Amino acid sequence: MISVEQVTKTYRRGRNLVEAVRGLDLEIPVGAFSVIMGPSGSGKSTLLHLIGCLDSPTTGEIWFDGTCLSQLSSDQRAQIRGHRMGFVFQRFNQIPNLSARENVELPLLLAGTPRWQARRRAGDMLAWVGLDHRASHRPSELSGGELQRVTIARALANEPDVILADEPTGNLDATTGDRVIDMLRRLREEGKTCVIVTHNPELAGDDDLRVFIRDGVRVDSLVREMQEVEL
Amino acid sequence: MNLNIAALAWRNIRTRKARSWLTILGVLIGATAIVTLVAIGTGVEQAVLRQFRDVGLDVVLLVPGETTGQGMSAPPDFGAQISVEGKAGGSPALGAQSLTGLTGSEGSRVLDPSALRREVPAITEIGQVSTRVFAVSAGQVSGFVRVVTPSRDLVDGFPGLLGGFEIAEGHLAAPDASSQVVLGAGIAVEMSAGVGDVITVDGVRLTVSGILKPSVGGNPAIGGDLVTGQGAEAFQSLASTDDAVFVLHEHSAALWPDMTMSSIVAVRIRTGISVTETIEQINGALELQGLRMTPISTQALADNVQRTLGMVEIVLVSIASISLLVGAVGMMNTMYTSVLERTREIGILKSVGAKDRQVLGLFLLDSGLMGLAGGGLGAALGVVASFLSTDPLGDLIGVTTFAPVFPAWLLAGAVGLSCVLGSLAGLWPAWHAARTDPVTALAAE
């Protein structure tokens, strides 16, 4: 269970202070497939970074499984990123001079997994995303869809509880994008909580937890009203 | 976990081959310079000190005349001047010139060895030697040659002074055989004279009774060009035996009665007795005899050489250390550039769970490994360079019989220092990397 309570995030851009998130509340139950939607610059990516321990809120608290994330040390947050969360990025973020398998091994090695075990686990994960035959290829030799599947394999390597995906289909064509989303949906069956940030409302299904953000605040009710009007 | 970080760091060095090697090269040059300079410096020092030890560190020479602390003027070139067909080279006036130009007004007074021995009980052995340049001829060959007249005591007790004085063929003149001469190896060849041949020295016919072995490495003047002043020339010219002929002091007075010979006196001081104090006693005794001679101890000359070489070595190693430091700054530059280039990579590492200290360790290991490689290769190259430069350098400084010395501390120190400097150079960039904010890093291009 992830609980976001009155969170604000202010950062400095040049001389200006930018309020990316302004007093936001959100609850994501365990095993939920949640889709956070909003136009670009709405603060949805910032929210994902805050939930994912990549960043700390300026004010407010984020609770994850009974732990207040904003009170953790840098090391403890790294620990949570490595063991409890898995990230899927729009830009894939593979390390270019490592092969696909080595990229998947990375979180395992950083977590202290023995090398032989990390290698086997990385192989299993690549097989799960259907890329075991591309394991020794460098990121530059892989297509966008393949890269995103490697990213998913890497995100799953340490068996995290939560998968956080920031515009996972942003750099993919529609068909490949759908495949990636299907793959993420399959994770729900394994009890993983998914948080997906996108500006594309079509990604969200009726059963998903849908969150709309604009200018750093939730506008769910507004959007619902608009949708009802459209209907 | 640390092993995994090391594997990642190593993989990074390998994938950035060109730049890693260039960075390593910077450190390598410094390490090579340090190892080479120290190895050669130590080698030269040991060779020179060995020469002094061969003479004996308990030996004090009493050189005629007074030196002023700045040492004596350089000796004239007493090398054999041989010409064929009886045409003598050089002026006949040379014939009366003494080795160090020290026949002063006191030249007529001769030291009484037994009196000196009585007055300075710390003296265990005493011998004397003088050197002249005489016209020498053998058959068709003639020229001016250094004639050394050591006393039997000197030959027996201080052979090290005369470059070992090892006889290759024949023997030293017998006590009753006053007209016998021993030839230096070089002279014997130039005059094509053998044992039993007769040569003429300043008009006196002498029979060759023995020929010396050649000096090792040609002509090993003690200390080469490194030792000057304070009577060092006396040691140096005595030590080179190849171009000289030898007549026993005991016979020379009878052979050339009208010549006053100003002698260099060598004394050996009892073990455990202070050389400085004994020299004071000797000075007192000389004053009593009314002689003006300057005592020069081997120990003092050796100390002098050691001090001079030590200073030269410190300067050279300081310069070499600067080059190592420059290498380290180059590495800092490489590492900092690398951190900037890999900002996004650092963000990725952090997003998959890398702790700050793991990122720090990754970059520190990167620079430390490069330092280690530079130091290791530099030390190896330094060993090769030392051996390669031994011959040309030896000729240059006049010390031909030295070999570079590689103490374990030198090699270990060069490698260790390079590794430590490499790590230190990487410290700030690595700290910078570890502190990078993951969100900003992930947004980097």
pLDDT band at B139 (very low <50, low <70, confident <90, very high): confident
Which of left, alpha, beta for B218 (phi over 0: left; psi -120 to 50: alpha)?
left
Q: Measured between CA atoms, how close is B350 to chain A, in angstroms?
A: 7
- 3-state class (DSSP) for residue A220: helix
Mean of pLDDT over chain A:
91
**Would you call A78 an interface residue with chain B, using a CB distance cutoff of 8 Å?**
yes
Exposure of B178 in the CB half-sphere (CA atoms within 13 A):
8
How much is the pLDDT for B72?
38
pLDDT at A212: 92
Cross-chain Cβ contact B352/A78 below 8 Å: no
pLDDT at A28 over 90: yes
Q: Is the pLDDT of residue B17 over 70?
A: yes
Task: Name which residue leads in pLDDT, A36 or B308.
Answer: A36
Q: How confident is the model at residue B384, as a pLDDT?
A: 95
pLDDT at residue B363 above 80? yes
Predicted confidence band of residue A150 (pLDDT cuts 50, 70, 90) = very high
Mutating which of B1, B3, B352, B437 best tests the A interface, going by the most A Cβ atoms within 10 A? B352
Q: How many CB atoms lie within 10 A of CB B115?
A: 12
Task: Determine, for residues B442 and A93 on separate chains, whether the beta-carbon distance falls below 8 Å.
Answer: yes
pTM: 0.72
pLDDT: is B32 or A226 the higher one? B32
> Is the pLDDT assigned to residue A12 strictly greater than 50?
yes
Select from A54, A85, A151 the residue whose CB has the most chain B CBs within 10 Å, as the one to mutate to test that interface: A54
Q: What is the pLDDT of residue B227?
A: 61
Lowest mean pLDDT among B72-86, B113-127, B145-159: B72-86
Chain A residues with CB-CB distance to B1 below 8 A: 109-110, 112
A81 lies within 8 A of chain B by CB: yes
* Residue ranges per structural domain of chain A: 94-158
Cα B224 to Cα B143, B235, B239, B342, B397: the distances in Å are 26, 11, 11, 57, 6
Residue scoring higher pLDDT (B16 or B332):
B332
| Position B379 pLDDT exceeds 60 | yes
B chain contacts of residue A107, beta-carbon cutoff 8 Å: 352-353
Of A156 and B273, the one with more pLDDT:
A156
State residue B89's pLDDT score: 40
Per-residue tokens: B28: 């390598």
More confident residue, A193 or B236: A193
Point out the least confidently predicted range of A6-20, B210-224, B427-441. Answer: B210-224
Nearest Cα residue in chain B from A99: B11
CA–CA distance, B281 with A133 (Å, rounded to integer) = 95
The question of ipTM being above 0.90 is answered as yes
**Looking at the predicted structure, is the pLDDT value of residue B83 above 50?**
no
Instruction: Please give the pLDDT value at position B34.
Output: 92
Nearest to A83 among B348, B353, B437 (CB): B353
Q: Which residues on chain B are in Cβ contact (under 8 Å) with A102? A: 11
Average pLDDT estimate for B106-128: 77
**Identity of the highest mean pLDDT range in A204-208, B133-137, B400-404:** B133-137
Cβ-based contacts of A94 with chain B (< 8 Å): 348
A137: left (phi over 0), alpha (psi -120 to 50) or beta: beta
In this structure, what are the phi and psi dihedrals at residue A122, rounded to the nearest 5 degrees? -65, -40
pLDDT of residue B229: 59
- Give the residue with greater pLDDT, A225 vs A97: A97
- The backbone region for B203, taken as left when phi is positive above 0, alpha when psi lies in -120 to 50, beta otherwise, is left
Q: What is the mean pLDDT of chain B?
A: 80
* Nearest-by-Cβ selection for B353 from A74, A81, A102: A81
According to DSSP, the residues that pair with A129 across neighbouring strands are: none
Residues of B in contact with A154 (CB under 8 A): 352
pLDDT in tens, B224-277: 666 665 566 777 777 778 888 999 888 888 888 777 667 888 888 888 888 888
The pLDDT assigned to B306 comes to 86
pLDDT band at A197 (very low <50, low <70, confident <90, very high): very high
Is B12 close to A97, i.e. CB distance below 8 A?
yes
**∠ at Cα B398 (B394, B403), nearest 5°?**
35
Determine, for residues A81 and B350 on separate chains, whether the beta-carbon distance falls below 8 Å. Answer: yes
More confident of the two residues B338 and B236: B338
Amino acid B156: pLDDT: 86
* Confidence (pLDDT) at B273: 82
Closest to B370 measured CA to CA, from B10, B36, B5, B3: B10
Confidence of residue A162 (pLDDT cuts 50, 70, 90): very high
Q: What confidence score (pLDDT) does residue B108 get?
A: 45
Give helix B356-397 / helix B298-341 axis angle, nearest 10°: 140
